[in-house]
Structure 1
Amino acid sequence: MSEKKKIYKPKPISGFPEWLPETRRAEQQWFDHIRRVFESYGFCSIETPSVEALDAINAKGGDGGADTDKEMYVLNRLLSELSYEIIHKDETVPEHYSLIPIRDHKFPEHKLYETGNEPRLALHFDQTVPLARYTAQHFNELVFPFKRYQMQRVWRGERPQAGRFREFYQCDIDVINVDTLPLHFDAEMPAIIWEILSSLPGMEDEKIQIQISNRKILIGLLEGLGIENITEVTRWIDKLDKMDKNAVASELIGIGLSDDNIDTILSLALIKASTSKELIAGISTTNQNDTMKEGIEELSFVLDQLQHLPDNAVVADLSIVRGLDYYTGTVYETRFLDDPSYGSICSGGRYDDLAGNYINKHLPGVGISIGFSRLFDRIRIKNQLPVSGVSPADILVILPNEESRNLMMATAQTLRKRGYNVETFHGASKIKRQLAYAQKKGIPYVWFPPFEDGQSHEVKNMETGAQENASPEEWTK
Structure 2
Amino acid sequence: MSKVTPISGFPEFLPSDRIVEQQFLDTIRETFELHGFASVETRAVEPVERLSNQGEDADKEIYGVRRLAAAADDEGPGLGLHFDLTVPFARYVLEHAGKLTFPFRRYQIQKVWRGERPQEGRYREFTQADIDVVDSGELPNHYEVELALVIAEALSKLPVPEFVIKVNNRKIPEGFYRGLGLDDVTTVLRIVDKIDKIGPDKVVERLVEAGATDKQARLAVQLADISSTDTSFVEKVRALGVEHETLDEGLEQLSQVMSAAAEHAPGLLMADLRIARGLDYYTGAVYEIYLIGQESFGSVGGGGRYDALASDGKTTYPGVGISIGVSRLVHRLVSLGLVKGSRKTPTAVLVALNNEEERNDAMRTAAALRARGIPTEVAPAAAKFGKQIKFADRRGIPFVWFSTDSGPEVKDIRSGEQVPADPAAWTPPAHDVRPSIETLEENS
| Mapped partners of 1:70, 1:264: distance in 2 | 31
1:394 offset after TM fit, Å?
1.3
The alignment's C-alpha RMSD in Å is 2.4
Structure 1 counterpart of 2:424: 473
| Mapped partners of 2:156, 2:141: distance in 1 | 24
State the SS of the aligned residue for 1:49: coil
What whole-Å deviation, never above 9, does each CA across 1:92-126 have from its counterpart, x for those lacking one? xxxxxxxxxxxxxxxxxxxxxx8666563222222
Structure 2 counterpart of 1:88: none
1:55 offset after TM fit, Å?
4.5
Structure 2 counterpart of 1:43: 37
Structure 1 counterpart of 2:147: 189
Correspondence list, 1:136-175, <5 A = 136-175=94-133
2:222 corresponds to 1:232 = no
Correspondence list, 1:412-423, <5 A = 412-423=366-377
What whole-Å deviation, never above 9, does each CA across 1:207-226 have from its counterpart, x for those lacking one? 32211011112222222333
Match of 2:258 among 303, 313, 325: 303
Match of 1:57 among 51, 60, 72: 51
Match of 1:72 among 34, 49, 62: 62
What whole-Å deviation, never above 9, does each CA across 1:220-252 have from its counterpart, x for those lacking one? 222233332222222222223223323322333
1:171 offset after TM fit, Å?
1.6
- Mapped contact 1:76–1:119 kept (Cα < 8 A): no
- Mapped contact 2:180–2:242 kept (Cα < 8 A): no
Match of 1:31 among 6, 25, 31: 25
In percent, how many aligned pairs have the same letter? 44
| Mapped partners of 1:376, 1:433: distance in 2 | 34
Length, aligned pairs only: 427
Structure 2 counterpart of 1:10: 4
Gap regions ≥5 residues in structure 2? 430-444
Computing the radius of gyration from Cα coordinates, the structure with the larger value is 1
Structure 1 counterpart of 2:285: 330
What whole-Å deviation, never above 9, does each CA across 1:52-77 have from its counterpart, x for those lacking one? 2335435xx34x45x33322222222
State the SS of the aligned residue for 2:388: helix
**TM-score using structure 1 length:** 0.83
What whole-Å deviation, never above 9, does each CA across 1:323-350 have from its counterpart, x for those lacking one? 3322111011122332322222211110
- Mapped contact 1:136–1:359 kept (Cα < 8 A): no
- Mapped contact 2:51–2:87 kept (Cα < 8 A): yes
Change (3 A) 1:336 1:77: same
Structure 2 counterpart of 1:430: 384
| Mapped partners of 1:263, 1:160: distance in 2 | 33
| Mapped partners of 2:73, 2:176: distance in 1 | 53
Change (3 A) 1:331 1:25: same
2:306 corresponds to 1:354 = no
What whole-Å deviation, never above 9, does each CA across 1:116-165 have from its counterpart, x for those lacking one? 66563222222222111111111111111111111111122222222222
1:17 offset after TM fit, Å?
1.6
Change (3 A) 1:259 1:72: closer
| Mapped partners of 1:263, 1:121: distance in 2 | 42
Structure 2 counterpart of 1:107: none
What whole-Å deviation, never above 9, does each CA across 1:180-217 have from its counterpart, x for those lacking one? 1111210122222222333323x2xx232211011112
| Mapped partners of 1:123, 1:76: distance in 2 | 11
Gap regions ≥5 residues in structure 1? 1-6, 84-113
| Mapped partners of 1:29, 1:417: distance in 2 | 22
- Mapped contact 1:75–1:119 kept (Cα < 8 A): no
- Mapped contact 2:66–2:75 kept (Cα < 8 A): no
**Structure number with higher relative contact order (C-alpha < 8 Å, ≥ 6 residues apart):** 2
* Partner amino acid, structure 1, of 2:363: M
| Mapped partners of 2:287, 2:24: distance in 1 | 22
* Partner amino acid, structure 2, of 1:457: P
| Mapped partners of 1:302, 1:368: distance in 2 | 15
| Mapped partners of 2:278, 2:345: distance in 1 | 44
State the SS of the aligned residue for 1:175: strand
Structure 2 counterpart of 1:293: 248
1:20 offset after TM fit, Å?
2.1
State the SS of the aligned residue for 1:334: strand
**TM-score using structure 2 length:** 0.88
Change (3 A) 1:259 1:10: closer
* Partner amino acid, structure 1, of 2:3: K
1:263 offset after TM fit, Å?
4.4
